[in-house]
A = this chain, B = another copy of it.
Amino acid sequence: MLNFELYNPTNYIFGKNQVEKLATLIPFNAKVLLAYGGGSIFKNGIHAQVTEHLKGHEVIEFSGIEPNPRFETLMKAVEIIRKEKITFILAVGGGSVIDGVKFISGAVNYEGNTVDILRNRILFKDVSKVIPFGTVLTLPATGSEMNSGAVITIDATHEKLTLGGSALFPQFSICDPTVIQSLPKRQIQNGVVDAFTHVLEQYLTYPQDALLQDRISEGILQTLVEIGPKVVENPTDYKLASNFMWCATMALNGLIQKGVASDWATHMIGHELTALYEIDHARTLAIIGPNLYRVMFETKKEKLAQFGERVFNLTGDSTEDIAEKAIEKLVSFLEEMGMETKLSQATTNYDNTASFIVNRFEERGWKAMGEKQNITLDKVKEIVELSY
């Protein structure tokens, strides 16, 4: 097990009607930017609930943070905060809105060209230099409600890039599983697959003597296998909804990553597919993930076999045999979750995707990725071509 630090100061507030606590969570004298995406929070009543509990605060609204939030859009909010002297941001939405608010929080007082925050992967560590924020989660998937990372798209160059740092944890996150009831089926499917893949990125590496992290990861995966297909069909079932929401947070709140080297190459490649073709984030992971495991089989076969045995109860003649079955079982699960697992099912004109992505990575100076830094650009090309 590697040395690690576990620090997560987010006050995570989970359950029915917890939005009532909003009034006590935001500093009484705060001037608030209420940030959200499109109109869904008007349809499902969350906008009305939130504004009810914000009474007494001066509130300015900022709408239009899109899925895969754009740097260009977020900079408009940054300007409003600077001009209006906003002191607190409330993000109401899913991972895109929360990620967007993390960028806004850090960018307001950033001295320099704000696009460099993304290009140079700036880490924000000083809480006194960011705008504090809380969240009301409306779509479980990304774990952004309890971590300090974010992914932002630069529209001008079609790039998805990351930022983060310990100053960018939400002060609080209100997570009410009943929000799932009003989500489109496709978003619930995406949420389950996104959370599932987050675990795989941290778990499907190689044996690292981290016995408990493995068990917790397997516990999240087992729970998502048990409830994932059901929650899509029965989003009003509180047992299913609450376990789904809690799994999605636990998949990426930092816990299972402690003490281990993790992969994240599926995300790095997947982000390019979203930037190029606007394929839903989770759906890019379903296309890339299994093929990455096929190409990196020798590196990952022990953990693939452990995944197959413990999560899918597979048996077989050898480590290799169980590992191969595990990849096929994963594909079946992704298909059961409504995913397409080939790029050709999600877009046309994909012929040059592999070389285009490799060029992108080369331009950024990326030479290799993955838990052993052995997913070279040749391997990336192979993985993407296998995904066509």
Contact = CB atoms under 8 A, between A and B. Distances in A.
A9 interface: yes
Identify the interface centre among A2, A5, A212, A223: most chain B CB within 10 Å of its CB: A212
A146 to B, nearest CB: 8
A219 B220 contact: no
Identify the interface centre among A211, A247, A250: most chain B CB within 10 Å of its CB: A211
Interface in A1-54: 1-16, 18
A227 B1 CA distance: 14
Contacts of A258: 14
Given A211-B227, A220-B212, A223-B215, A1 B259 contact: no
A85 interface: no
Contact of A14 (B4, B8, B218): B4
A66 interface: no
A239 B3 CA distance: 12
B3 A243 contact: no
Contact of A5 (B5, B7, B9, B14): B14
Contacts of A2: 15
Interface of A: 1-16, 18, 209-212, 215-216, 218-220, 222-223, 226-227, 238-239, 242-243, 246-247, 250, 255, 258-259
Given A2-B15, A212-B243, A215-B218, 19 more contacts: A1-B238, A1-B239, A1-B246, A4-B15, A5-B11, A5-B12, A6-B12, A6-B14, A7-B10, A8-B8, A212-B246, A212-B247, A212-B250, A215-B216, A215-B220, A215-B223, A216-B219, A218-B219, A246-B259
